Structure 1
Amino acid sequence: MTAWLVLAKDGSKRLSEGYDDNPATHYSWDDTVVNHARLAVGDVIALWDSVELLGVSVIEDIAVGEATKTTPYCLECGKADVAERKKKLPRFVCWNQECKHEDDKAGWKTKDVVTYRGRHEAGWIPARGTLMASQLRALCVKQASQNSLRELREDDFQHALSHGGTPLPLRILDTTRDVLAGGHTMATIRVRKGQPAFRKHLLEVFGEVCAFTGPAPIQVLEAAHLYSYAANGKHHKGGGLLLRRDLHRLFDLGLIAVNPKTKALHLADSLMKYPDYAKLHGVPLTVSVAADHIKWLAKHWEMHRGDGPTATIPEQTSHAESAV
């Protein structure tokens, strides 16, 4: 596995590249970019805006496609190193250090490209302010690189994150990799089919209630599949609960599990330093569940806790203390 530092900043990439980046969910590039074919599912991806680190995650899936791309080139040197200025004139400037030509116009050429779109939403950890540009460049394998996709020294990068002033739940990265190694990518793609109808069904059954914290606005409730790791691609009876978006992600990663014997929440140690999450530890579900729910929760528990459904948990807090 490899770690990558990727540039995700409005206006920072070459003119008319057509990328649709969203730092917290996905990142796009094509085969005109150096290292384009080296990124792989399971790699760590760190996004920055040329000023600071935005966040870090693990690549869950890479969709490969084809497109026609129109790009500018410098009228002086002929290289495709032209950037468009937003305020200063002349409008175009060549980034080639040996040219640096400025002009009101640019040349244009069209070519067919292979496109890549990587998803990384499940393990996303916001990290603004943890590492600045100079620190990130120093952690690259090639520190003088100007490429949009730069390989990081992964051990040094994770050490820098874990020993910074802002604590980050980096165990999420390892957990995400473990889940992907177990085939979670295929399951995630399959279970999205019919998702709106599945969510509607859960709202009819449970109402506007998060199964972990209680009543919540409908806008923040998501349909969580209890069996998504089974890779069977079906919406099973008793196979879902409504969860708040943040809790859904933590549940998918196994950082929150439900003890199928006590029907109480069990949080990973890495979450216990966050008070709003820590107080959920040992709290019972806020909704009534059927035998089918328990069956799927048991599978999830066995996968992420590994000690069977009879495992004990610390003394439970009262249900009245469960709201975040």
Structure 2
Amino acid sequence: MGDDRERSGNDGYDDDPARHYSWDETVPNSGGPAVGDVIALWDKKSLLGVSVIEHIEIGRAEKDRYTCPLPNCGKGSFKPRKTKQPVYVCKCGGAFDVPNSRREEVTTYRSQHDAAWVDMAGALSGAVLRSMCDKPTTQHSIRSIRWERLQEALVGAGVTTSVTIAEQARRTIAGGHRARIVRARVGQAAFRARLLERHGAVCAFTGPAPASVLEAAHLYSYAANSEHHDNGGILLRRDVHRLFDLGHIAVDPGNLVLDLAPELSAYPDYAPLHGAAPAVPLQHGREWLAAHWAQHRGN
């Protein structure tokens, strides 16, 4: 895993670097990783660890894609701003409050690699890892790299024992024989941990819930930013998180109460939320809530 990447705006992924990595067919080189491949995961600064892919779960899912609405652009290379208006600024030089969105069905992939995970945090810098890739100048999140070259660099960094463990795992797990270097959504686990410490095991919309079902949700499109703003994050139950991402649940930026799409009124677990105040006060990030509201409510 490496530098933060500008993805064609989407709602991000649920990575846990030591266990699994998720991507879909819209990611360049999406079909490259295979069972048995060595996988080196890094953030924008340094190596996180090395493992071997044990299994890849393949499925289909609907995905929201966000693009710049300005004429002659239409790309996903935009980021939210913390204080300035309009909310988003694009690499094309324009600024806007609401991106264009479309939904499409895509093939999804999720690697399982926890059994062979070897923590190598900080052993190699991001610059060194980039230089060793087969195509060092590309900004793709999945890149190929020769395992032998990575081995040599790691041994030189003094983590010989860890390299031996990874090599044994590679030989044990049947399948691919290549190496991949992939880039994680930086700091997702730490972001969730900070939210749990601040708010406790509480879904921001529904109230107390087991920590195991709570996910770190962004009030803004993380895909357009690739940064975690603590004031722009809340904890949501997995089902509620999905409904929020889809716009079926929104927060009225005027009075900060929950608004449910009409189709949810038939479900007794959700219907009482309509018009209710969130379980956690949302005094920060009104501009992001307003952008979410405008996108999904159209006013």
Q: TM-score, normalised by structure 2?
A: 0.53
* Cα gap change, 1:62 to 1:86, in 2 (>3 Å): farther
Of 63, 75, 80, the residue aligned with 1:85 is 80
Q: Which amino acid aligns with 1:19?
A: Y
Are 1:171 and 2:167 an aligned pair?
no
C-alpha distance in structure 1 between counterparts of 2:11 and 2:145, whole Å? 24
Are 1:61 and 2:19 an aligned pair?
no
C-alpha distance in structure 1 between counterparts of 2:104 and 2:35, whole Å? 27
* Cα gap change, 1:94 to 1:43, in 2 (>3 Å): farther
* Cα gap change, 1:134 to 1:107, in 2 (>3 Å): same
Q: CA offsets, 1:31-71, max 9 Å, x none?
A: 00000001100111111111111111111100000000001
C-alpha distance in structure 2 between counterparts of 1:8 and 1:27, whole Å? 16
Aligned partner of 2:90 in structure 1 is: 94
3-state SS, counterpart of residue 169 of structure 1:
helix
Aligned pairs for 1:130-169 (under 5 A) are 130-169=123-162
Identity among equivalent positions (%) equals 39
Residues 21 and 112 in structure 2, CA contact (< 8 A), matched pair in contact too:
yes
* Cα gap change, 1:12 to 1:34, in 2 (>3 Å): closer
Aligned pairs for 1:271-286 (under 5 A) are none
1:106, distance to aligned residue in structure 2 (A): 1.1
Q: Which amino acid aligns with 2:131?
A: A
Q: Which amino acid aligns with 1:27?
A: Y
Residues 125 and 168 in structure 1, CA contact (< 8 A), matched pair in contact too:
no
C-alpha distance in structure 1 between counterparts of 2:159 and 2:6, whole Å? 27
Aligned partner of 2:107 in structure 1 is: 114
* Cα gap change, 1:70 to 1:158, in 2 (>3 Å): same
1:112, distance to aligned residue in structure 2 (A): 0.5
3-state SS, counterpart of residue 66 of structure 1:
strand
C-alpha distance in structure 2 between counterparts of 1:84 and 1:117, whole Å? 26
CA RMSD after TM alignment = 2.4
Aligned partner of 1:34 in structure 2 is: 28
Q: CA offsets, 1:165-214, max 9 Å, x none?
A: 444421222222232229xxxxxxxxxxxxxxxxxxxxxxxxxxxxxxxx
For structure 1, the residue ranges without an aligned partner over 5 or more in a row are 1-5, 183-324
C-alpha distance in structure 1 between counterparts of 2:9 and 2:168, whole Å? 37
* Cα gap change, 1:177 to 1:154, in 2 (>3 Å): closer
1:8, distance to aligned residue in structure 2 (A): 8.8
Q: CA offsets, 1:207-227, max 9 Å, x none?
A: xxxxxxxxxxxxxxxxxxxxx
C-alpha distance in structure 2 between counterparts of 1:149 and 1:86, whole Å? 27
* Cα gap change, 1:116 to 1:102, in 2 (>3 Å): same
Aligned pairs for 1:153-232 (under 5 A) are 153-181=146-174
Number of paired residues?
173
* Cα gap change, 1:146 to 1:102, in 2 (>3 Å): farther
For structure 2, the residue ranges without an aligned partner over 5 or more in a row are 176-299
3-state SS, counterpart of residue 137 of structure 1:
helix
C-alpha distance in structure 2 between counterparts of 1:136 and 1:144, whole Å? 11
3-state SS, counterpart of residue 28 of structure 1:
strand
Which structure has more RCO (C-alpha within 8 Å, separation ≥ 6)? 2
C-alpha distance in structure 1 between counterparts of 2:165 and 2:107, whole Å? 31
Residues 7 and 149 in structure 1, CA contact (< 8 A), matched pair in contact too:
no
1:141, distance to aligned residue in structure 2 (A): 0.8
Residues 82 and 92 in structure 1, CA contact (< 8 A), matched pair in contact too:
no
